Structure 1
Amino acid sequence: MQTKKIVVVGSTNVDMVVKTTHIPVPGETVLGGAFFMNPGGKGANQAVAVARLGGEVTFVSKTGNDIFGKQAAQTFDEEGIQISCLLSDPDHPSGVALITVDEQGENSIVVASGANAHLFPEDLEPALERISASDIILMQLEIPMSTVRFVTRYAASKGIQLILNPAPAQPLDRELLQGVSVITPNKTEAEMLSGIAVHDVESAEKAARKIHEQGVENVVVTLGSLGAVILQAGECLYVPVQKVEAVDTTAAGDVFNGALAVALAEGRDLEAAVRFACLAASISVTRMGAQSSIPYRNELIVSGWTV
């Protein structure tokens, strides 16, 4: 099976994680947590997921000219990610995420974007040759919207399939959405894009139809432990996920998106690609951390996925 080229455009952070009994409310201090530090950022997580799951991936991102940025570049290189388009910002620090994880595996995240907020369209000029040679572009919203719009228009002009993970949640206009091949909102993001509260499969289908009406060709609403809803060619399909005991949901959505890109790059249809992505994400939530939780391709094979 021929693997197509994937380009991930997005953020890279250092995740500083505290595991505690519950996520504190405003004004509350919770003692007794365990602390650890991991590489993260939605773009970086997705690029690592693509690499570990067998995809050929180039990562376009910007880090600070600091120890975190240098460590990130080394990590990406060791993962087999093409980093010729990884930029270093001399004026801004690398991005940092502060993450609290409770006993049920749910998380609360605050991000200091740093250099990620300064990845502007003009910075992508050296990367355009590699982007134009790609078959799939995967992008998120932890970089400036001007860059998101630029990449979306560029992908459309070149006929490149674009997967947009609309996270963190924010409003998106019709012009941008019309340039997206596949959009992958979670419940919160789907509600923001559609105006429909998403809490089950039925409401996810309604939200997906509303998002589709705004011009997106294919919609995949991720529902965490419930799986995902696909809207394709006007028809909705529900894809369940295997039940697991969640330890930490950090980066589960990123694993899903990276896996989705890999499966589509291998020529699988959207339903099969979503099933593959659900399996990869279900493995990731059984582990702590962001990139540390991302599975390798052979782990999916052991879990019963036929490659």
Structure 2
Amino acid sequence: MDSGGAAPHPRLVCLGLSALDITWQVETLPRGGKTRASDLREGGGGMAANAAAAVARLGGKASFWGRAGQDGAGREMQSQLQACGVDTRGFRLFEGARSSVSGIVVDGQGERMIVNFRGAGLPAAADWLPLDELNGADAVLADPRWPEGAAALFAAARQRGLPTVLDGDVSDEEVFDLLLPHTDHAVFSEPGLAAYAPAGCGVDESLRFALSRGCRLAAVTLGERGLRWLDAGGFQSLPAHAVEAIDTTGAGDVFHGAYAFALGAGWPVRHAFQFSAAVAALKCTSPGGRAGVPDFATAMSLVEQLKE
């Protein structure tokens, strides 16, 4: 991982959720009643969609595959991804379906509260996915919001020897049971891992449980406590980057996208995690889920500073 070299340009496919984010900026998160917002923003969101936008910002060639309604929100999401440089030919808008929309409230410390409508009327079938396009890809990523699509993507990627990255956000147990046997790198949020592992498990025991379900590496992002992962080489950890957070919206999505980018570039796991942690930390210093994603050179500059 050499910042002095040319930036890599891996090709990635990201599959899963795209949402339209409506964000209110407030001084403190509301506990009820009325709250006045100091700002209002609207933009594209969703785990895999944000990951694809991050890949494109870093210089990768990103494709987003997913589903939305043939409605105003769906068309706006598609347009915004295209503006980010993401290939949306695998992003299908379905007549009669309703798109996913999120309401996000962000306080003065960068913490946020999210209410998400996941959409309605979206067909589960994944037989229309352009899987032959994986022949030119370097890695794939999926979130758990469309398990049928993720299973089809991961199976096709495994046939081609491509690394598979799963965004382990909170989901039903059967979704992870379906996807983990086809997953190389399962990177959970702390709530996602806690919800999946047996009750009462600590972080390490939870990672062991996830690894036992079929993935080759199980990791968990721990916010200010950094990152911990387990693979055949045992447990490893990385500290968090100290930054002044303005908005943490999309930080996990960006982390996953940057990690898949680094794996697609052929980097070792530890270097890939160092890079993705830097990208996500820098994102938190700017408002919005995508607007704060740094370019490759800026991210590498932070990585190199931490080595000094």
**Alignment TM-score, normalising by the size of structure 1:** 0.88
Aligned residue for 2:107?
102
After TM superposition, give the deviation of residue 272 of structure 1 in Å: 0.5
- Kept in 2, the 8 Å contact 1:107–1:250? The answer is yes
Aligned residue for 2:194?
191
Distance 1:149 1:184, change over 3 A: same
Letter in 2 for 1:77: Q
Aligned residue for 2:49?
44
After TM superposition, give the deviation of residue 163 of structure 1 in Å: 0.4
Aligned residue for 2:182?
179
Aligned residue for 2:17?
11
CA RMSD of aligned residues (A): 2.3
1: distance between equivalents of 2:58 and 2:233? Answer: 30
Aligned residue for 1:22?
28
**Structure 2: where are the runs of 5+ without partners?**
1-5
2:172 to 170, 174, 180: 170
Q: Does residue 122 in structure 1 map to residue 124 in structure 2?
A: no
Letter in 1 for 2:195: M
**Residues 44-80 of structure 1: CA distance to partner in whole angstroms, max 9, x if unpaired?**
1000001111212211122332333333333322322
Q: Does residue 134 in structure 1 map to residue 106 in structure 2?
A: no
The farther-off stretch of 29-38 and 48-57 is: 29-38
Letter in 1 for 2:169: A
1: distance between equivalents of 2:42 and 2:180? Answer: 35
After TM superposition, give the deviation of residue 112 of structure 1 in Å: 1.6
2: distance between equivalents of 1:175 and 1:32? Answer: 41
Letter in 2 for 1:183: A
- Kept in 2, the 8 Å contact 1:12–1:116? The answer is no
Letter in 2 for 1:165: D
Q: Secondary structure at the match of 2:41?
A: strand
1: distance between equivalents of 2:121 and 2:291? Answer: 21
Q: Secondary structure at the match of 2:33?
A: coil
1: distance between equivalents of 2:192 and 2:284? Answer: 20
| Percent of aligned pairs with the same amino acid | 26
2: distance between equivalents of 1:114 and 1:206? Answer: 34
Aligned residue for 2:157?
155
Distance 1:305 1:78, change over 3 A: farther
Distance 1:260 1:166, change over 3 A: same
**Residues 204-259 of structure 1: CA distance to partner in whole angstroms, max 9, x if unpaired?**
33321221122211012111122211212141111112201111111000110010
**Alignment TM-score, normalising by the size of structure 2:** 0.88
Distance 1:230 1:133, change over 3 A: same
**Structure 1: where are the runs of 5+ without partners?**
none
1: distance between equivalents of 2:73 and 2:161? Answer: 35
After TM superposition, give the deviation of residue 146 of structure 1 in Å: 2.6
Distance 1:33 1:142, change over 3 A: farther
Letter in 1 for 2:164: L
Letter in 1 for 2:15: V
- Kept in 1, the 8 Å contact 2:278–2:303? The answer is no
The within-5 A match list for 1:190-269 is 190-195=193-198, 203-269=202-268
Letter in 1 for 2:103: L
Letter in 2 for 1:154: A
